[in-house]
Amino acid sequence: MPRTATQPTPDLDVTGIDIARAAVFSGRPWHLLHQPHHGSNAEFAQWRVTSCLRLIEPNGSSLRRPAIFHSEVDATEKGHLNFALGGAMTKAYLEAKLGIFWLAHYSLVKKSPRYRVLRRVPGFSEPDYIGMDSQYRFFAAEAKGRVSLDAATKKSLNCKKQTGIVNSVNGQIILQRYGVAAITGGSHIQLYATDPEVEIELPKPSEWLASFYEYVRAVCGPEGEVSEAENTPESWTQVSFDLPEQVSQWVSEGADPAEWEGLASRTREAYRESIVLPDLTVMSVSSQS
């Protein structure tokens, strides 16, 4: 499950300088720009800062769009402005929360001779960004700017729909995929973020076996005890299960997997007149009298 999907509005503390910096550098590392020191790049950076900062205002400890944005800005313009803010907030979020600083537009990466991007499937759909984390692992990221978080956008981010089309960068398989949306239509600007799935720490084999046989013991009941079912049809066959004492002792002594084969052989030999199941539970069958 995406780690932050359970927290639709993760806290993100930013200043105006943080937003301005994120707006300038979001997706545009200098080494991928054709003429990084050209005046047009400076003008574009200025437009990004203006589009992000001029149409947000403080609302207590939060930020919000001013009333004019909701009442007088055209829907198409809202889309452009929200897209710019979504990109800036994605950059700020990745830096502040995850320590990720290198983030480049997918369109710049795929055109650069320094990078070789392989897609899983052909088509026009593509993520917004390719990034690199502190462990020098490439990842794909998608940024959204929306007035409200509609079901389609939420599903796209949760399912890593657009980021999932990237297979590898420079031969390195893309394993991490991020999605961030800036939601601007409410009383304050919110973020919706989905990080890569959490790595689950699996139990050691001996720990798993101990848990499993604790459950088996609960199902079988105390050794040698049989619970009679009431009001059962005469045609039914009575079946009982038991966990041999030697198996219980093996579990209590640490359940070493290396000893399994020997234990299984001794158990089947000791109960050769009965049915020994794969988990070494002994099943006894008898007809109703």
Is a pLDDT exceeding 60 seen at residue 197?
A: no
| pLDDT value of position 2 | 41
Which H, E and C letters describe the chain, residue by residue? CECCCCCCCCCCCCCHHHHHHHHHHCECCHHHCCCCCCHHHHHHHHHHHHHHHCCCEEECCEEECCHHHHHHCCHHHHHHHHHHHHHHHHHHHHHHHHCCCEEEEHHHHHHCCCCCEEECCCCCCCCCEEEECCCCCEEEEEEEEECCCCHHHHHHHHCCCCHHHEEEECCEECCEEEEEEEECCCCCCEEEEECCECCCCCCCHHHHHHHHHHHHHHHHCCCCCCCCCCCCCCCCEEEEEECCHHHHHHHHCCCCHHHHHHHHHHHHHHCCCCEECCCCCEEEEEECC
Residues 6+ apart with CB under 8 A from 155: 161
Q: Which of 95-99, 143-147, 280-284 has the highest mean pLDDT?
A: 143-147
| pLDDT value of position 198 | 47
Average pLDDT value for residue range 247-260:
86
Q: Which amino acid appears at position 169 of this protein?
A: V
Is a pLDDT exceeding 60 seen at residue 9?
A: no
Average pLDDT value for residue range 42-60:
91
Of 54-63, 134-143, 153-162, 257-266, the least confident: 153-162
How far apart (Å, rounded) are the C-alpha atoms in residues 256 and 164?
41
Percent of the chain past pLDDT 90, that is, above it, reads 38
Banded model confidence at residue 64, pLDDT cuts 50, 70, 90: very high
Average pLDDT value for residue range 3-16:
64
Is a pLDDT exceeding 80 seen at residue 76?
A: yes
In this structure, are strands 138-146 and 176-183 parallel, antiparallel, or unpaired?
parallel
Banded model confidence at residue 288, pLDDT cuts 50, 70, 90: low
Is a pLDDT exceeding 80 seen at residue 235?
A: no
Average pLDDT value for residue range 227-254:
74
Is a pLDDT exceeding 80 seen at residue 226?
A: no
Question: Quick count: other Cβ atoms within 10 Å of Cβ 109?
Answer: 24
Q: Pick the residue with more confidence: 5 or 259?
A: 259
State the chain's mean pLDDT as an integer.
84
Domain ranges in the chain are 16-194, 205-287
**Tens digit of each residue's pLDDT (9 = 90 or more) over 109-122:** 999 999 999 998 88
